[in-house]
Chain A
Amino acid sequence: MTTWDAATLQIWWQRLISVADEMAAVLLRTAFSSVVRESNDLACAVLTADGELLVEYGRSVPVFTGCVSGTVRAMVEHFGAENLRPGDVIATNDPWYGNTHLPDLTAATPVFRDGRIVAYVASICHLSDIGGASEGAFAQDVYEEGFCLPPVKLVDAGTPNQLVRQILARNVRVPGQVLGDVDALIAANALGERRVRAMLDSDPELDLGTAAEHICGVTERAVRESIRRIPDGRYAAEVDLDGFEEPKKIVVTVEVAGDSLVVDYEGTSPQSRFGINSAAPTYGYTRYGLACLLAPDVPNNEGAQRPITIRVPKGSLLNPDKRAAVSANFPAHAIPAVLSRALLEPLPDRVAAAAGTPFWVVGIRGTAADGSFASLLCFNGGQGASAGQDGHPTLSTPSNVSNTPVEVVESQVPVLVESKRIVRGSGGAGRWRGGDGQEITIRSVHPDPLDIIFLTERIEHAAPGLAGGQDGQVGLLQVDGVDVAEPKGRTALPPGSRILLRTPAGGGFGPA
């Protein structure tokens, strides 16, 4: 029996976190997808034998660690835990199984000890391509959006599943890179599985289930204590977004009763005909937003979820039907800000004004002499201000994706980034100023038209200030000086043409 004193718990917790961190190092270094290796669009986690989140890689994209548990559980239910064998790697990119959207692939590996599953390790990354309309918001159902892989054994008892690899490769634009990404996920999980087993070998008396009870238990108590300090009551807020075919609204009510709370999105706009709906990310971003507000110092795990119930009306933007397109699930990125807005009164020192979210994406695809190229570039807006601190300019919030260095962009795709500047003064005014956005100009130097996909938000609806702070400046998207009619659309960019992007700035906090 292990004695769980203050030192022992700290030691095992930290060991588990380091497993997730090490997995991420492998994934990051061996992946081919530029959003993974340059922008860090990935997550790694260790889960319990029941598929509950135990620890996450510290720099994970928050929506992934909010979704990973649901996806792994759905996959295990699909196969039946009794049908999993040592050396299996199961994977899916299917939103019906709790995955975020098709371009992200979730891969999980069971960890066996004495013939029994004692844990899962899981990795998620954004693939180099997934066929179909991929990143765009303009698809009208999930079938148009790309290739869907229901739960499969990518590796079956140590043997790679060649059929799945062949089918996947034939359905994507850059097969070599996509299979490289798949290999990176497998390698990360293999390392995680070895590490967890070595941990158990070093202390045969350690029971991971008991460790998880302790880890999730203290987390749950801390979160409940934090909720208890909020006076019982209903706290409501809403936020407006550009949407696609029409503006959209997210409405939230947080109902606090004792040491638990219910988040209810009743009143949120109905689902879109296009790909801006959010299924699983609704839950991921709700959990993340609450973690920032309730227990920012506590490492995230299943314990933090237990005091929280999430209700999302069916058929809404945040809980669409199964056919709905969900690739550009960007509205979900506004969830942490709307939760902050709702909880301003009880948590004035923890909330933040809205950020100029989400990060903007420019997908660039085409064909050159040496093959196809496909690259996703991310550009962040300004951070929202909070009590006591101005928002930082150009900082990824609430997601966490880096930019791709201009020198790397230009060595991979035939464009010239002509400028990349902070838009001074664009952040919302206030006692504390919102973070400024940035302006980027990109010119095509390709002899043929480039296939461009835009994903933007807050061109019409600004990131609102909070507690009397002003809104941040809205974004701007132009091609050759003309506003882009479909700022979540796809376009053929003629040779020599210039794109101008101005990312939205963050809201201010408190009256100026």
Chain B
Amino acid sequence: MRVSFDIGGTFTDLVLLDERSGRAWLGKCLTTYDDFSRAIAQGIRELLGTGDLGPADVDHPVVGATTLVTNALIERRGADTALITTRGFGDTVEIGREWRYDLYDQQLQLPDPLVPVRQRFEVTERLRADGAVHTPLALDEIGRIADRIAESGVESVAVCLLHSYANSAHEEAVGAVLAERLPGVPVTLSSHLVPVIREYERTVTTLANAYVRPVAGEHFADVERAIGQVGIAQPLVLMQSNGGVVSTATARQYPLRLLESGPAAGAIGAAYVGQRLGLDRLIAFDMGGTTAKVCVVENGTPAVHHGFEVGRVHRLKPGSGLPVAMPVVDMLEIGAGGGSIAALDPLGLLKVGPHSAGSRPGPAGYGLGGEQPTVTDADLVLGYLDPDYFLGGRMSLDVDAARRAMLAHLGPAFDDDPVAAAAGIVRVVDEHMALAMRVHATERGHDPRTFTMLAFGGAAPVHAARVARILGLRRVVIPTAAGVLSATGLLVAPPMVETSRTRLTELAQWSDAAVAEVYAGLVGQAAAELAEPVDRVERFVDMRFVGQGFEIEVPVADTDGPEQYLTRFAAEYQRVYGVRPDYQRAEVVTWRVRAYGRFTQPELVRTAPDTRAAADAPRTRQVWFPETGLTEAPVLRMLAQPPGTRVVGPAIFQLPESTAVVGPGDLAEVDRDGNLHIMVNLPSANQDIRRSEVAA
């Protein structure tokens, strides 16, 4: 028996899985912000009760994902932190990269540095780019810095020295002195956390880890205590942003690796469902209240990227946040969710998002005081959502309030027709998401039309089939566990640690011994962090042609030599950029391994049947589509449909936490596991959209 939980901003999702029968029980409770562990303890007890099981039946580590690390960073609720840098570079963290993310805004906002000037300390030392010592470390200075740190009551320390990716000795010496002089104060070394080139990004990353470390440690301890209180005698393991799970001991040292643990778990869950269905090219599409997230999954593995931005201060604009150079499931975040507000801009254009009404006051239809029209309001006015069955019946919605919001804010642009305004909102938001997905996929060398879309989260099943039509993508799958896919993903993710190091090596200078040494070091570190025997290792390198500034990641084999590296790199370069240049000199910038622990993936078959659904009588309701205008469409409960059910759209499938909208001419079918497949009616669909635009 296995248990997992995903602590999200609003809900904590839980899954209990009986591996022998493949049967799973799903739970959802409100996240308890005063003490996160309460929701977990309560949720696990309830699930065990439903399944008539006891805590002793849980015989695998409990797997968790949490949003707390991200929240602590975004809301600036981390520790009082000090930074130690090479002399002359205390301001690197404030100087940043000196560019403006908005060309025309003379009052640009930038994120504040995580550490004030008075808590930045510079130490005399200097390394060259190749790691050679230019100025030895002035050890005596560290003691004085330690004294000042001790006096100031700092709770956590980050150390980032220039070129430490090439030689960690100076940082380690600083760390040793601090450990001795400041017992109990955690020290994060950049050369251990993220030994990659570019000092601003590395410094911010190291600082961010130090900043969240004490808070994260307490959080993990709370969760462990909750598990103990329930009576489960199993350790806690945690999901990292890259899709691998890791022991709490390692997570305590490197909590920053958990920044995107929930979304990563969602991507892993999507990858698992795709694998079971034999789909090797997936676009995982999750749409919640404020944002939509998209991830490309190939051959069962979500793409991983080595850097992202957290806490963007301006409308999710790239460049307005803090860069974090950490491996993270390559997730595109779009400022489009159910709560995204629609408004006419000064030019009279309809804009949707990125501002969100959130969950309070929320969309106008929530009746909680929100007055501006949102995507959820549009979905409601168009009949996609059932006003009497929202969030699994926990909430009812006010259609009239949604219509009033359309009229009040968008009426003049749409002839005072609330349905036309709602249709406009849905067109803009669907188009926005489709465009972002297309760019995301094509920038990585993929053609989105050759992918299957897997839609989950509250709002994605509502919009998925239409977004797929715009993209020219043929099949959409809505998994049976669409509402708790992250918690499901946690159960199927292997233990995995990723380590990397920058060591600029031109292929012409290749030395078997040097390469073996780099990999041995990386595997050694990974094994220590994995805290269990290494089952298998994957190797990757970031390569570029000599003289370029951006690298692309290339998977390589243990037996490869420089010729194979060049061949694989050139092939990947062609796939991504569409050109195969004739440049002779290529180099490896960063070396990377992924070390996996032993893991047997459990079988998930079908969730417990929806008992409420069985008694339901067939119903219909008025639903609007561009092809048909308002039309009567059947409404079915997805979990109550027997395998093999086939319906030609328009149709609505009600899920416990969401609603799947099937467009006119689309073919929907329920498979043996209860997943809903929608075959999008492509060619005629495009014709129909254009006709309706002409008619509008």
A residues lining the B interface (CB < 8 Å): 1-3, 5-11, 13-15, 18, 21-22, 25-26, 28-32, 34, 36-38, 40, 58-60, 62, 128, 176-177, 180, 183, 187, 190-191, 202-203, 205, 218-219, 221-222, 288, 291-292, 296-298, 300, 350-352, 378, 380, 386, 388-389, 392-397, 400-403, 405-408, 410-411, 416-422, 438, 441
Residue among B107, B344, B435 having the largest count of chain A Cβ atoms under 10 Å: B107
Q: Say how far B110's CB is from chain A's closest CB, in angstroms.
A: 6
Contact between A1 and B694, CB atoms less than 8 A apart:
yes
Do A30 and B577 form a contact, CB below 8 Å, given A3-B693, A3-B696, A405-B199? Answer: yes
CA separation between A389 and B61, bound complex, in Å?
52
- Beyond A396-B98, A405-B198, 18 additional contacts (C-beta under 8 Å) are A8-B427, A22-B439, A26-B577, A59-B319, A191-B578, A218-B347, A219-B347, A292-B104, A296-B106, A352-B106, A395-B100, A400-B99, A400-B100, A405-B197, A407-B163, A407-B199, A411-B504, A418-B88
Contact pick for A9, options B99, B197, B349, B686, CB 8 Å: B349
Report the bound CA distance from A296 to B102 in whole Å.
10
Could you name 21 residue pairs across A and B whose Cβ atoms are closer than 8 Å?
A: A3-B694, A5-B424, A8-B427, A34-B549, A59-B99, A180-B545, A180-B547, A180-B548, A183-B581, A202-B472, A218-B348, A288-B103, A292-B104, A296-B105, A300-B104, A378-B98, A393-B94, A395-B100, A401-B99, A410-B163, A438-B95
- Does B92 touch A at the CB level, under 8 Å? yes
Task: With CB as the reference atom, state the residue of chain A lying closest to B584.
Answer: A176
Chain B contact residues, CB within 8 Å of chain A? 87-92, 94-108, 110, 126, 128-129, 134, 162-163, 165, 197-201, 319, 344-351, 410, 413-414, 423-425, 427-428, 431-432, 435, 438-439, 442-443, 472, 504, 545, 547-550, 577-579, 581, 583, 686, 690, 693-694, 696
Q: Which of B414, B428, B579 contacts A183 (CB 8 A)?
A: B579
- Whole-angstrom CA separation of A31 from B547 in the bound complex: 8
Bound Cα distance A394, B98 (Å): 6
A30 with B548: CB separation less than 8 A: yes
Q: Which residue of A lies closest to B435 (CB)?
A: A18
Q: How far is the CA of A351 from the CA of B200 in the complex (A)?
A: 31
Indicate if the CB atoms of A422 and B103 lie closer than 8 Å: no
Say yes or no: B106 contacts A292, CB within 8 Å. Answer: yes
Interface centre among B104, B163, B427, B693 (most CB of A within 10 A): B104
Q: Which of A1, A32, A62, A291 has most chain B Cβ within 10 Å? A: A32
The interface residues of chain A lying within 8 Å CB-to-CB of B432 are: 14
Q: Give the CA-CA distance A177 to B198 in the complex, in Å.
A: 22
Q: Is the CB of B197 within 8 A of A411?
A: yes
A-chain residues with CB within 8 Å of residue B547 when the two chains form the complex: 32, 128, 176-177, 180
Q: Are B443 and A25 in contact (CB under 8 A)?
A: yes
The main secondary structure of chain B at its interface with chain A is: loop
Instruction: Return the chain A residue nearest B410 by Cβ.
Output: A6
In the assembled complex, the CB of A417 is this many whole angstroms from the nearest CB of chain B, namely 8
CB distance from B17 to the nearest CB of A (A): 41
Closest chain A CB from B694 CB (angstroms): 6
Q: Which residues of A contact B472 (CB under 8 A)?
A: 202
With the chains together, A135 CA to B220 CA distance in Å?
Answer: 56
Q: Is the CB of B577 within 8 A of A7?
A: no
Interface pairs A-B: 3 shortest CB-CB: A419-B88, A37-B549, A7-B424
Cβ contact within 8 Å between B413 and A6 = yes
Docked pose: A5 CA to B107 CA in angstroms: 32
User: In whole angstroms, how far apart are the Cα atoms of A17 and B134 in the complex?
Assistant: 47
Q: How far is the CA of A121 from the CA of B482 in the complex (A)?
A: 42
Partner of A11 from the list B163, B427, B696 (CB cut-off 8 Å) is B427
Chain B residues near A393: list those with CB within 8 A. 94-95
Write out the residue numbers on chain A whose beta carbons fall within 8 Å of the beta carbon of B87. 419
Closest partner residue, chain B, to A403 (CB atom): B98
Knowing A21-B439, A350-B106 are in contact, say whether A38-B581 is a contact too (CB < 8 A): no
B111 to chain A, nearest CB (A): 11
B103 contacts A11, C-beta separation under 8 Å = no
Given A22-B442, A400-B100, A8 contacting B693 (CB threshold 8 A): yes
Q: What's the least CB distance linking A494 to chain B, in Å?
A: 19
* A407–B98 CB distance below 8 A: no
Q: Which residues of chain B are within 8 angstroms of A10 by Cβ–Cβ distance? A: 349-351, 428
The CA-CA distance from A352 to B107 in the complex, in Å, is 9
Task: Across the interface, name the chain B residue whose C-beta is closest to A373.
Answer: B547
Contact status B548-A421, CB under 8 Å: no
Residue contact A394 to B200, C-beta cutoff 8 Å = no
